[in-house]
Structure 1
């Protein structure tokens, strides 16, 4: 199964670019979704901006000697072919089963992704040729680097199908937000609702921080009692 990649509205990208992954996990928790943070997918280098995009999924399974060979890199089903199917603006989400001793992508593949306008690479695995990868300027969230190639520990089997990445079920066209705290998934069907709630939550927490900086005590402020709710609503009314 291969699912067509969908674009993501620029206004959604703009809104989510101002929302932390910490806030998103809280919003999703309130909606009953606890397992949305992709374990192991952390910024390869510090200081990367928060990025947003629809998930373009790639799936690896354990290496099998007759399939995981250098010759497989030229097969119709290969990471190379998957990269050529990636649309501009997507986030490549690669399920590598948490394998950390075989690099899924190196500098050449990352350079091609960057040229195609891919927003970022997110994986629970690792990359290789790390000096060259950093030179491509492709933002990457992963578990680090390893010298061996992917076929030393993994077999690539497909793209744009449901995957597991960092213990999270990721479906094509779900939305990924990645920042210094890692990468968080928003189910595609919940994006509009989550955006509205998250933007309001960021506004509210900004007001809370202003109150803390002014010397306010936390009890009754965070979470707010009725008096502070009314104070916030009066303040927010003027800002909307």
Structure 2
């Protein structure tokens, strides 16, 4: 698959209202909701390298491959089309396949993403110019930082296509939430169900915290019922 692929109906962007609801949650509640529904979503091994605040939005994907003859249709630099097409409510998601020896994102791209109001960037692998992302206050989640350039090493095969992020399938328009606990993806086709489940989990856990503040013993608050909350709630 090369160039841009238009998303299938199940991959269409979810409504802005759902993005707002997602932003009111956290990665743990969303992960618990996915567990409850038997869906994958938590992309392990990614952490905040710059502007470590919670981000939420719709995925605009980029697929990177090793540089070789014919690997980059059109010859444009990786990530540029996704940056140009993205704005508020979007999270750029780069499938760098866990590469740690070469960057899959850099400072000029960060400047463009910040200019366009992109919510943040997720890279499954290394990125560089992390200091610049910090100066720009652009949330950047990745595997690690590295100074080595992508030029001559990796290229963009396609953007706005289905990708794999740490063994989680991600489609254009899927929901993304990331915070200090990690990165979680929500399939667009299940967004309403996942968010409603996560909201119910948050309500239950807030009630538990209120009981803690009221002085109830922890063993009582976190009873056997808590251990089975994923049958209708949450797990830690």
Which TM class, normalised by the smaller chain length? 0.7 to 0.9
The DSSP-based 3-state class of the residue aligned with 1:150 is coil
* 1:49-96 Cα deviation digits (max 9, x unpaired): 3211010010012333x357xxx6972574223322224321001100
Cα pair distance change 1:117/1:162, threshold 3 Å: same
1:19/1:200 CA distance change after superposition, 3 Å = same
User: By how many angstroms is 1:219 displaced?
Assistant: 4.8
Match of 1:43?
48
- Measure, in 1, the Cα distance between the counterparts of 2:143 and 2:62: 17
Residues 1:140 and 1:94: Cα distance change in structure 2 (over 3 Å): same
SS in 2 for 1:184: strand
| CA distance in 2 between partners of 1:135 and 1:39 (Å) | 26
For the aligned residue pairs, the C-alpha RMSD in angstroms reads: 2.6
CA contact (8 A) 2:125 2:142 kept: yes
Paired with 2:207 and 2:164, the residues of 1 have a C-alpha distance of: 37
TM-score by structure 2 length?
Answer: 0.82
Show the counterpart of 2:23: 17
CA contact (8 A) 1:92 1:120 kept: yes
Q: Paired residue for 1:2?
A: 5
Match of 2:33 among 6, 17, 27: 27
Tell whether the 8 Å contact from 2:50 to 2:138 is kept in structure 1 after alignment. Answer: no
- What pairs up with 1:61-140 in 2 under 5 angstroms? 61-64=65-68, 66=69, 75-76=75-76, 78-140=78-140
How many Å separate the matches in 2 of 1:207 and 1:127?
Answer: 40
Give the length in aligned residue pairs: 220
- Alpha-carbon contact 1:67-1:155 (below 8 Å) kept: no
- Offset of residue 217 of structure 1: 3.1
Residues 89 and 6 of structure 1, relative CA distance in 2, 3 Å threshold = farther
Q: Do the aligned residues in 1 keep the contact of 2:92 with 2:120 (CA within 8 Å)?
A: yes
1:60 paired residue number: 64
Alignment deviations for residues 174-224 of structure 1 (CA, whole Å, 9 cap, x no partner): 100111111101110111112122112111101101112323234554357
Deviates more, 1:211-220 or 1:21-30: 211-220
Per the TM alignment, residue 22 of structure 1 is displaced from its structure 2 partner at its CA by 0.9
CA distance in 1, matches of 2:77, 2:121: 19
Deviating 4+ runs (over 4 angstroms): 4-8
Q: Name the SS for the 1:112 alignment partner.
A: helix
Corresponding residue of 1:196:
196
Kept in 2: contact 1:2–1:160 (CA 8 A): yes
Greater relative contact order (Cα 8 A, min sep 6): structure 1 or 2?
2
Q: TM-score, normalised by structure 1?
A: 0.81
Question: Are the equivalent residues in 1 in contact too, given 2:103–2:126 (CA < 8 A)?
Answer: yes
CA gap of 1:180–1:84, structure 2 versus 1, over 3 A, is: same
- Name the counterpart of 2:149: 149
